[in-house]
Copies of this chain bind each other. A is one copy, B any other.
Amino acid sequence: MKLLNYKAQFRSYKMLKVLSILFVMVFSFGKVATAQEKKQMVRLAKIKVDPVQLKNYTTALNEQMNTAIRVEPGVLTYYAVADKSNPSNITILEIYADTATYKAHIETAHFKKYKETVKDMVKSLKLVDVTLLNSAKKPGM
């Protein structure tokens, strides 16, 4: 009887250990990427803009970003930032549902309009394909 009790205790100790490890995995290292997230296409666009035309450029960029998010189901996230020390250095973080979405995106009328509008405003453009390691945000951000 004593031995049985000991075995039962040992089993619940093992169970507790497994549960603790699972808890730590889920809450310390963030969520596991879903199949959908693994298909995502994530990119950094690094753009140097003619400083004189910066205001017109950002107007065209914002219009493109807002329209794509509004009308294209697979265009998921855009963040555009400008260096404080050199506001004509712009970096855009872009997340698309998959590469097919991106290919469709660059064929849309609003994207083609943006490219045409900014063609003499952009001095250089570097597209860097990246992997999303983690995103952590406050609810609603």
CA distance A87 to B128 in the complex (A): 12
- Contact digits for A26-41, partner B, Cβ 8 Å, 1 yes 0 no: 0111100000000000
Docked-complex contact B81 and A42, CB < 8 angstroms: yes
**Copies per assembly:** 2
Q: Is A136 an interface residue (CB 8 A)?
A: yes
Question: How many residues on chain A are close to B (CB under 8 Å)?
Answer: 44
Contacts of A91 in B (CB 8 A): 44, 130
A139, chain B: closest CB distance, angstroms? 10
Known: A42-B81, A81-B93, A95-B141. A66 touches B131 (CB 8 A): no
Docked-complex contact B44 and A133, CB < 8 angstroms: no
